[in-house]
Amino acid sequence: MVVIDSRRVVRGRGAVSNPTGRYEKRQLTPFDDGWGDDIDDPEAAGENGAVGEPMRLPTTVIPEKTRRAITRNDSPDLSFDRSLNPYKGCEHGCVYCFARPTHAYVGLSPGLDFETKIFSKPDAPDRLREELTKKSYHCAPITLGANTDPYQPVERELKISRRLLEVLREFRHPVSIITKSALVQRDVDILADMARDNLAQVFVSTTTLEKSLARIMEPRAATPDKRLETIEVLNEAGVPTHVMTAPMIPHVNDHEMERILEAAYARGARRAGYVLVRLPHELKDLIEEWLERHFPDRKDHVLNTIRQTRGGELYESTWGVRMTGTGPYAQTIAARFNAACRRFGFNLERTELDTTKFRPPEEKGAQMALFR
C-alpha cells in the first residue's frame, strides 16, 4: 500500500491520503522527519520528478472471478432488495462515498486505493444469466450501481454494465440505474427499448451545479452540465430519468438543493430523492482531511453540524435515520426538500417497473416447446 502524506497534492483524486484499512494488523502512518516541510513548495519535485507538479497516481484495474452477480439486501432503508455491481472501487473519487470502507475487506485502503485500484467483474453477465435462468428465481426490480458507479471511466472500455443490460433486456427484467456519469447515454438504445415496456429507469446523482465545487467533490465524475444533459437526453428518448440530490453535506453543497431540483425538473426529471451525508468507518477521518485541505475555514462547522444530525457522533447506523439524520438541521433539510418537490412538481406519481413481463429464454431444443 502506498503511504501518502496528507499535505501532498494528488492530481485528479478525491481522497487526501491512503490510510490503512481497519482490518490490517499493521497500521501505516506518514511521519514527518523534518525533510517534508517543503512538500507543497513550488520548487519541490513531484512524484514523477517534475519540479512543482502534484503527485500522480495511475488507475489499476484488477479483474476478479464472480461467484454470484446478484447481491441481496434486507435493508428497510432501500426500495430494492437486489442489485448488480460490476465494479469494486470507483474512480470518480467522491471522498464521501459510503462504499469506500468496503476496500478494507480486501486489504486495501478506503482512501486513494479505493479510487485507483478498481476490481472489475468481467464474467458478471454470465453469472447473471445463470441466476436468472434458475427455476427458483423470483423477479423483482434490480438496481444497477447500488454500491459503486456502473458507468465509471473503466466502463468505456470494459462494457460490463452494457453486457449486463443486454442480459436483462433478453430476460425482460426490470432495472433501475444509479449513476453520476454521462456514459449511460451510450446505452440509450437498450434502455429505450426496455423503457417502452416499463422495464427501465435511471437516477442521476447531482450534488452541485458549480463546476469548481464538483471538481473538488467528484474529480472524475461528469460535470454538472453533462449530468443535466443526461437527464434530458434519456427522457427525450423515452427513458424515465430522475434526480438524486445525494449526498447533501452541511455548509458545502446543501445551499444548492433547490437549484438542483429546479434544473433537473426543467430537463424532464419527475422524481427526486436526497440523502444526508453518511460517514461510516474510515470515512470520518477521510472527510476531516478533505475539509482541512479544501475548506479549512468551515471544517469545524461542517463536522459539528453533522454530529448534530447523528446523535453527537459523525455516523449513526440505525435503520430509518441513517439516510436522513435527526435533529433540527436534518428536519430543516427534509422540509426544504419536500417544499421544493411540491413547488416544482416532483414525486406526484410513482410508477413501479413491470415485473410481469419477465421471461427466461427457452433452452434450445426444450421439449415443452413442442406442445405450444
Tell me how far apart the alpha carbons of residues 372 and 369 are, in angstroms, rounded to a whole number: 6
Tell me how far apart the alpha carbons of residues 4 and 112 are, in angstroms, rounded to a whole number: 9
* CB-CB contact of 4 with 30 (8 Å): yes
Between β-strands 82-84 and 70-72, what pairing exists: parallel, antiparallel or unpaired?
Answer: antiparallel
Residues 6+ apart with CB under 8 A from 46: 52, 53, 54, 55, 56
Residue 50: predicted pLDDT:
46
Tell me how far apart the alpha carbons of residues 162 and 183 are, in angstroms, rounded to a whole number: 10
- 3-state SS of 175-204 is EEEEECCHHHHHHHHHHHHHHCCCCEEEEE
Residue 74: predicted pLDDT:
81
Task: Provide the residue ranges of all domains of the chain, joining segments of one domain with +.
Answer: 60-347
- Can you give the pLDDT of all 372 residues of the chain as single tens digits? 555 555 566 888 989 888 876 666 555 455 444 444 444 443 333 444 444 456 788 999 999 999 999 999 888 777 888 999 999 999 999 999 989 999 988 889 999 999 999 999 999 999 999 999 999 999 999 999 988 999 999 999 999 999 999 999 999 999 999 999 999 999 999 999 999 999 999 999 999 999 999 999 999 999 999 999 999 999 999 999 999 999 999 999 999 999 999 999 999 999 999 999 999 888 999 999 999 999 999 999 999 999 999 999 998 888 878 889 999 999 999 999 999 999 999 999 888 999 999 998 776 544 444 444
Domain 60-347 has CATH 3.80.30.30: yes
Residue 18: predicted pLDDT:
85
Tell me how far apart the alpha carbons of residues 138 and 300 are, in angstroms, rounded to a whole number: 48
Cell reading at 165: 443490460
Give me the helices (H) in the chain, please.
112-116, 124-133, 155-158, 160-171, 188-195, 211-217, 224-236, 257-266, 283-294, 299-309, 327-344
- What's the farthest any 2 CA atoms get from each other in the chain? 83
What's the pTM value of the predicted model, to 2 decimals? Answer: 0.87
Residue 360: predicted pLDDT:
84
Residue 9: predicted pLDDT:
66
Cell reading at 169: 433486456
Residue 259: predicted pLDDT:
98
